[in-house]
């Protein structure tokens, strides 16, 4: 009986911590608006925001070691953090990654009422900044509603 109880105490948190993969719509919980990529930044990248409009579809793929990639299905480009900054926040874009670069790798963790999305290469968390543009906040403490996202099945 004690063994069964221990099994459930270990298994239930593991099941609850499972991150949804496959096709999702990514919603900012506080603002209730979906992650989109409405405009080109340059020939190789697109800006990311929650400026409204139709919810875009994203592919969440587990790549091992609790890491994921997040790819926009329409543009076939990956979400990544640039080394460019604005007010101590990394710019977030869509792009096609080059071999060996890890700016498109993320960890996704349960937090508060949703998920936090952290960049692996540049310690930072996805959040909504000024004018509804999405940035990655520098640092490892990502607590608060501005960092909470949810994944909805496509």
Mean pLDDT computed over every residue of the chain = 87
Tens digit of pLDDT for each residue in 31-45?
999 999 988 888 888
111, 109, 108: which is closest to 146 by C-alpha? Answer: 111
Q: How confident is the model at residue 106 (pLDDT cuts 50, 70, 90)?
A: very high
**Please, what CATH class does the domain formed by 21-153 belong to?**
mainly beta
Average pLDDT score over residue span 73-77: 94
Q: Tally helices (H) and strands (E) across the chain.
A: 1, 12
Tens digit of pLDDT for each residue in 117-128?
999 999 999 999
Please tell me the distance from the alpha carbon of residue 56 to that of residue 72, in angstroms, as a whole number.
Answer: 7
Cα atoms in the 13 Å half-sphere on the side-chain side of 146: 14
User: Which residue ranges make up each domain of the chain?
Assistant: 21-153
pLDDT at 84: 92
pLDDT at 13: 40
The secondary element (H helix, E strand) that includes residue 71 is strand 67-72
């Amino acid at each position: 009986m004690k063994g069964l109880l221990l099994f459930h105490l270990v298994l239930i948190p593991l099941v609850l911590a499972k991150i949804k993969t496959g096709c999702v719509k990514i919603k900012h919980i506080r603002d209730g608006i979906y992650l989109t990529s409405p405009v080109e930044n340059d020939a190789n990248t697109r800006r990311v925001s929650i400026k409204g409009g139709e919810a875009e579809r994203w592919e969440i793929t587990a790549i091992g070691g609790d890491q994921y990639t997040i790819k926009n299905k329409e543009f076939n480009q990956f979400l990544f953090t640039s080394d460019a900054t604005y007010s101590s926040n990394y710019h977030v874009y869509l792009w096609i990654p080059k071999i060996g670069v890890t700016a498109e790798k993320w960890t996704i963790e349960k937090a508060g009422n949703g998920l936090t999305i952290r960049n692996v290469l540049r310690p930072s968390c996805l959040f909504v900044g000024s004018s509804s543009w999405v940035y990655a906040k520098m640092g490892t403490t990502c607590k608060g509603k501005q960092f909470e996202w949810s994944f909805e099945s496509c």
